[in-house]
Amino acid sequence: MAYKILVLKGDGIGPEVVGEALQALKVVARRDAVDIEFREAPIGGHAIDAYGKPLPDATLAAARDCDAILLGAVGGPKWDNPKAEMRPEQALLGLRKELGLFANVRPVKSVKEFLPASPLRPDIVNGVDLVVIRELTGGIYYGKPSERRSGADGREAVDTCYYSESEIERVLRYGFELARERRKKLTSVDKANVLSTSRLWREIATEVAARYPDVKCDHQLVDSMAMHLIRRPRDFDVIVTENMFGDILTDEASVLAGSMGLLPSASLGEELNGAGYRIGLYEPIHGSAPDIAGRDEANPLAAILSAALLLEHSLGMRAEAELITQAVEGVVRDGYRTRDLGGGAGVKVVGCKAMGRLVRERIESLEPEA
């Protein structure tokens, strides 16, 4: 039976970077004789223009009927009006909720070659290897009421932060399982000194931790976590937190890698049939970069690494995922860079297509691990 992968190219540089990621997947599929059927659907600003909705019904239906989704980026100045009823970002929020993608996984690894470009001292970021797990379908992003209205005092607005026990428990459980496969350290982040949802979060984190005695668990308040993440990032392994804290901390964490251009992400749902695989949405963490769209200047590496995460989490193909990761690392080691990654001695600046081709050639020259 063929795997079904839905490709959502989106706006701006989305089509260019996903195009390269797709070709990398095809190379892997061909060499390992894996049967994958690729489908495409519109999303984001383009979908608003063509169908009047950022997440058309047919796109959502296709998303429900696939094993994994590869997404580029959505948004752009054309659709930026904050008063507009439809915004490209709504497509992302809708997909996450409708598909139950509750665990957003954002690995951050410092890359030796990019240390000089980091705004942080190399002795702080060298050797960083952490994963932030952000709860993605609850909290203040989705709580009701969420509205603007007029009150006694004029205009007012309200958002609601709500979490149920099961929502908190499942994402923490995912974090502990992951920590078990890594350095067995988990940091749970909350604001338990102020928020009720955070006190419940900490209570449940403590209960779940008791079921994983082999994993060292500690709790941090989100404000001091923001500081520790920059001061001593190497001390962290798996970080688990709620939706909005995770949104903020993951942008902060992305700085540790030296460049956003190399950071993939996975948004995962429940395990399928206890087989260890999950439906997932995979995307680079960078945006749609409309200023360089269509100029063959975009960096496809984060999208290609997102494809590697897809192979690992949704298709259970770890060796193949590792192959793609190694190919990307090799190309970077050889000095190839897209423009965003900066110049320097011995650096060869290439475009989006050339970078994609280099990665594919590298994949073809590497032997997969048994």
So which residues are the catalytic ones?
141, 191, 223, 247, 251
Chosen from ligand IPM, Mg ion, none, partner binding at 230 (C-beta under 5 to 8 Å by type): none
Residues β-bridged to residue 17: none
Q: Within 10 A of 167 (CB to CB), how many other CB atoms are there?
A: 20
Q: Identify which of 51, 77, 96 has the alpha carbon closest to the alpha carbon of residue 289.
A: 77
Nearest-approach distance from CB 244 to ligand IPM, in angstroms: 8
Nearest-approach distance from CB 93 to ligand IPM, in angstroms: 6
Distance CA 254, CA 247 (A): 11
User: Which is closer to Mg ion, CB of 132 or CB of 179?
Assistant: 132
Check residue 159 for interaction with Mg ion (CB under 5 A): no
Chosen from ligand IPM, Mg ion, none, partner binding at 89 (C-beta under 5 to 8 Å by type): ligand IPM
Nearest-approach distance from CB 251 to Mg ion, in angstroms: 6
In the block, tokens 């060298």 appear at 126
Name the residue with the smallest CB distance to ligand IPM.
89
Check residue 169 for interaction with Mg ion (CB under 5 A): no
The interface mask with Mg ion, positions 196-235, x = CB under 5 A, is ----------------------------------------
Which stretches of the chain bind ligand IPM, using CB under 6 A? 89, 92-93, 247
Nearest-approach distance from CB 367 to ligand IPM, in angstroms: 35
Give the chain's radius of gyration (CA, Å).
20
Check residue 89 for interaction with Mg ion (CB under 5 A): no
Name the residue with the smallest CB distance to Mg ion.
247
Distance CA 11, CA 54 (A): 11
Q: What residues contact residue 353 under an 8 Å CB cut-off, 6+ apart?
A: 16, 20, 296
Torsion angles phi and psi, residue 87, rounded to 5? -130, 145
Chosen from Mg ion, ligand IPM, none, partner binding at 340 (C-beta under 5 to 8 Å by type): none
Size of the site for Mg ion (CB under 5 A): 1
Q: How far is CA 228 from the centre of its chain?
A: 22
- Per-residue H/E/C for 145-173: EEEEEEECCEEEEEEECCCCHHHHHHHHH
First and final C-alpha spacing in the chain: 23
User: Which is closer to ligand IPM, CB of 23 or CB of 137?
Assistant: 137
**E strands along the chain, which residues?**
3-10, 36-40, 68-73, 103-109, 129-135, 143-151, 154-160, 185-190, 216-221, 238-241, 264-272, 277-284, 336-337, 348-349
In the block, tokens 């700085």 appear at 255
Q: Show contacts with Mg ion in window 242-301 (CB under 5 A).
A: 247
Check residue 129 for interaction with Mg ion (CB under 5 A): no
Nearest-approach distance from CB 243 to ligand IPM, in angstroms: 8
Check residue 322 for interaction with Mg ion (CB under 5 A): no
Nearest-approach distance from CB 59 to ligand IPM, in angstroms: 17
User: Which is closer to ligand IPM, CB of 129 or CB of 247?
Assistant: 247
Residues that bind Mg ion (CB under 5 A): 247
